[in-house]
Amino acid sequence: MSIHATMHIVSPSRRDAYFDWLQMLTGLGLVIFMALHTALNLSIIFGAKSLDIVAGALEVLHLDTLAHVFVPILFLVHFVLAARKIPFRVDGQLAIWRDARLLNHRDTWLWIVQTISGMVILILGAIHMWTTITAGAVQAASSVARVQSSGWTMFYLLLIPLVQGHVFIGLYRIGVKWGVITDKMRPKVVKILVITFAGVLILALLALARYATLTI
Amino acid sequence: MARTLTFEIFRYNPAIPEQKPQMQCFTLAETANMTLFIALNRLREEQDPSLVFDFCCRAGICGSCGMVVNGRPRLACQTKTADLPERIILLPLPVFKLVGDLSVDTGVWFRDMYQKTRSWIHTKKAFDSDQEEERMDNAVAEQIYELERCVECGCCIAACGTARMRDDFLGAASLNRIARFALDPRDERTDQDYFEIIGNDYGIFGCMGLLACEDVCPKHLPLQNQLGFLRRKMGITALKQLFRKSSCAS
Ligand code: HEM
Ligand code: HEM
Ligand code: SF4
Ligand code: SF4
Ligand code: FES
C-alpha cells in the first residue's frame, strides 16, 4: 500500500451504532410509556372513579414516581439523538422538502410529519410534563379542573394527534429500519397500523371530551 | 385513442453557463407501445437535434437512461407512455453530475462508490488456474445473483431524502453492494471489516428508512430487506465489541 493512503484516515468508531441503538430504544421506551399513559387516560371514559382507581394502583406500585424520573430523561435523550437527523440549515430543509414534493412519496412525507410533530411535542410535552409532575398525584378531580381551565382543552386537542401520529410513524419506522417489517409484510402492516392509529386517536379524543365535560 | 402528448423537458448545457436552465415544451402524437425511449428519439430526430439524453440497451439492462419522470426516478426505456398522463415532465436525476439536459454522469459516482465499499472479493487464497472452480451452494448463488441484478441506474440514490440532504451518504445501491459481499462465502472479510466501511452515519446508520429506494428501484431489488439485514448485522457487531475485552490484552 502506498504511504499517502495512511495519511488521512477517519478513526473507526462505534459511536454512530450506539447512537442508533439508543435512538431506537428511547423511542421504543417512550412508545411503551405512551401506551400505558393513554390507557390511564382512557379510564376517564368510564368516569372519574375508574380513573382514580387506575391512578391509585399505579401509585401503589410507585410507577408514577418512576415515570416522573425516567420519562423526562428518555424524552430529552430521544430528542437529542433524533435531532442529529433533523436538518437545521435551510439548504437541508429545502432539499428534503423538494424531494418529498417531487417524489410525492408516502414514506418520505411521513418522515417530515415525524420531524415536525417531534419538534412541537418537544415544546408542548415539556410544558405538559412540568405542569403534571409539579401538580403531584394524578386525580380525576384535579385533571378535570385543569383540562377545563383556560386553553388546556385546545392544548390537548393539538397534542393528542401529534403524539399518537408520532408514535405510530415511529413504530413503523423502527420496523422497517431494523428489518422487522419485510417488504412482503409492508402493505399489511401499514394497514394494521393505520387502523390501530385511527382507533387509538378516536378513543384518546373521547377521553379528552370526557375531561372537558365531566362535572365533579 | 391516439393522444397528443406534451413533454416538458429540462434544458441546460453546463458548458454554456450564460444560458439559463429552462423547461422546454414539445408535443408528439402517441403511437402504439410507445416508450419514453422511442418518444425522446423521435423528438430529437424530428424536432430538436440538440436534445441530450442517454440510452444504450433500451431494455433495462445498462442503467444509463435513468431520469425523473413526473417526479419519480425511472428507466426511460422501461416506461410506457400509455402508463403516463398526457403531460409528461422530464428532469435529470438529482445528486449526480449533470452532463446536459437529461443526461447525468452516474459512472464517476459508482466508480467512486466501488472504491469506498471495496467492492470486490477479498481473499488470501492464491488463484490456481489448474484447479477446478470451487462449487457454491445453489441457494447462496441465487441469493447473490438477486443482489447482483442492480444496473447502477442511480434511481435509488436520486430518490433518497438522506442522499439529497447529505452528499456523503452512501445510499442504497452501495449498501446493497456490501450486503452482496457479506453473503458471498468466497469473500473473507469479517463483520468487523464491513463495519469499518458502513457502521456509521455515512453508511447504514445514516439511513432513515424512508424507503424511497425500495419504491423506485426499477429492477425491484429487495433493498428494504437488505437495509434491515445490514442494520441488524452492524448493530449487533457493535454490541459484541462492547462486551469484548480489548483485543490487545493477553
Ligand atoms: C412522547 C414522545 C415521543 C415518542 C413516543 C417518540 C417516539 C419515536 C419513535 C418510536 C421513533 C422511531 C425511532 C427510530 O427510528 O429509531 C421516533 C423518531 C423520531 N423522533 Fe420521536 N418520540 C417522541 C418525542 C420526540 C421529540 C420531543 C422529538 C423532538 C424533536 C422527536 C423527534 C423525532 C425524530 C426527528 C425522529 C426520526 C428519527 C429518524 O428518522 O432517524 N421525538 N420517535
Ligand atoms: C411523567 C410524565 C407525565 C405525566 C405525569 C402525565 C400526566 C398526565 C395527566 C394527569 C393527564 C390528564 C390531563 C391533565 O391532568 O391535564 C395527561 C394527559 C395527556 N398527556 Fe400526559 N403525562 C406525562 C407525560 C406525557 C408525555 C411525555 C406526553 C407526550 C408528549 C403526554 C401527552 C398527554 C396527552 C396527549 C394527554 C391528553 C390525553 C387524552 O385526553 O387522551 N404526557 N397526562
Ligand atoms: S431507506 Fe430511505 S434513507 Fe435509506 S437508503 Fe433508502 S431511500 Fe435512503
Ligand atoms: S439498486 Fe435499483 S435503483 Fe439502485 S442503482 Fe441498482 S437498479 Fe438502480
Ligand atoms: S437504455 Fe439501458 S436501461 Fe434504459
Protein residues whose CB sits closer than 6 Å to any atom of ligand 2:
A 37, 41, 67-68, 71, 75, 121, 125, 128-129, 132-133, 138, 143, 146-147, 156, 159-160, 163, 204, 207-208, 211
**Together in a domain, B123 and B89:** no
Which of A12-16, A127-131, B197-201 has the lowest average pLDDT?
A12-16
| Centroid of ligand 2 to alpha carbon of A209 (angstroms) | 14
Say if B108 falls within a structural domain. no
Of B51, B72, B103, at which residue does a domain stop?
B103
| Residue that is written with C-alpha cell 410509556 in the block | A33
Q: B165 and A92: CB-CB below 8 Å?
A: yes
pLDDT on residue B10:
96
* B85 in the same domain as B26: yes
Residue B78 β-bridge partners? none
* pLDDT for position B12: 95
Mean pLDDT of A193-210: 97
Residues B185 and B66 in one domain: no
Residue B126 covered by a domain:
yes
Q: Contact, B60 vs B77, CB < 8 A?
A: yes
Question: Which of the residue ranges A61-65, B81-85, B242-246 has the most confident prediction, judged by mean pLDDT?
Answer: B81-85
Cα gap B144→B185, rounded to integer Å? 10
Contacts of A12 in chain B (CB under 8 A): 195-196, 199
- β-pairing, B97-100 with B103-105? antiparallel
Rounded to whole angstroms, how far apart are CA atoms B43 and B9? 11
Chain B residues with CB inside 8 Å of A118's CB? none
> What is the pLDDT, as a whole number, of residue B246?
57
**Residues contacting B113, CB < 8 A, separation 6+:** B119, B170, B171, B173, B174, B177
Query: What CATH number is associated with residue B94?
Result: 3.10.20.30
Please give the Cα distance from A84 to B46 (Å, whole number).
Answer: 51
Q: What are phi and psi of B69, to 5 degrees?
A: -105, 115
pLDDT band at B169 (very low <50, low <70, confident <90, very high): very high
Domain presence at residue B110: no
Distance of alpha carbon A202 from alpha carbon A208, whole angstroms: 10
Structural domain harbouring B159: 117-249
Element counts in chain A: helices (H) and strands (E): 8, 0
Q: What is the pLDDT of residues A158-192, one digit of tens each?
A: 999 999 999 999 999 999 999 999 999 999 999 99
B208 lines ligand 1 (CB under 6 A): yes
3-state secondary structure B161-197: HHHHHCCCCCCHHHHHHHHHHHHCCCCCCCHHHHHHH
The answer to whether residue B60 sits within a structural domain is yes
Residue B28 corresponds to which amino acid? L
Integer angstrom CA distances of residue A14 from A11, A89, B89, B237 = 10, 26, 44, 9
Q: How far apart are the first and last CA of chain B?
A: 79
Residues within 8 A of A (CB atoms), B 208-247 only: 208-212, 214-216, 222, 224-225, 227-229, 231-232, 234-235, 237-239, 241-242
pLDDT per residue over B100-134, tens digit each?
999 999 999 999 999 999 999 999 988 888 988 88
Residue span of the structural domain in which A29 resides = 3-213
Residues B123 and B231 placed together within one structural domain of the fold: yes
Considering its fold, how many domains does chain B have in total? 2
Cell triple for A129: 410534563
pTM attached to this predicted model? 0.90
Instruction: Provide mean pLDDT across the span B200-219.
Output: 94
Which range among A3-12, A133-142, B22-31, B94-103 shows the weakest confidence by mean pLDDT?
A: A3-12
B237 with B132, same domain: the answer is: yes
Q: Tell whether the model's pLDDT for residue A132 goes beyond 80.
A: yes
In-domain check, residue B239: yes
Q: Do both B38 and B138 map to the same domain? A: no
What is the b/e burial string over A140-176, where b = at least 16 CB atoms within 10 angstroms of the residue's CB? Answer: beebbebbeeeebbebbeebbebbbbbbbbbbbbbbb
**Rounded Cα–Cα distance for residues A52 and A214 (Å):** 14
**Over 60: is that where the pLDDT of B247 sits?**
no
**CATH number for the domain harbouring residue A14:** 1.20.1300.10
Give A10 or B94, the one with higher predicted confidence: B94
Tell me, yes or no, whether B131 and B244 share the same domain.
yes
Please indicate, yes or no, whether residues B165 and B238 belong to a single structural domain of this protein: yes
Q: Which three cell numbers stand for residue B142?
A: 441465487
State the CATH number of the domain containing residue B215.
1.10.1060.10
Q: Give the domain-ending residue among B80, B103, B126.
A: B103
Q: Tell me the Cα Rg of chain B.
A: 22
Is there a domain that residue B111 lies in? no
Residues B122, B221: one domain?
Answer: yes
Domain count, chain A: 1
pLDDT reported for residue B248: 55
pLDDT at A3 over 50: no
> Considering B45, B68, B103, which residue would you say is the last residue of a domain?
B103
Q: Do both B91 and B163 map to the same domain? A: no
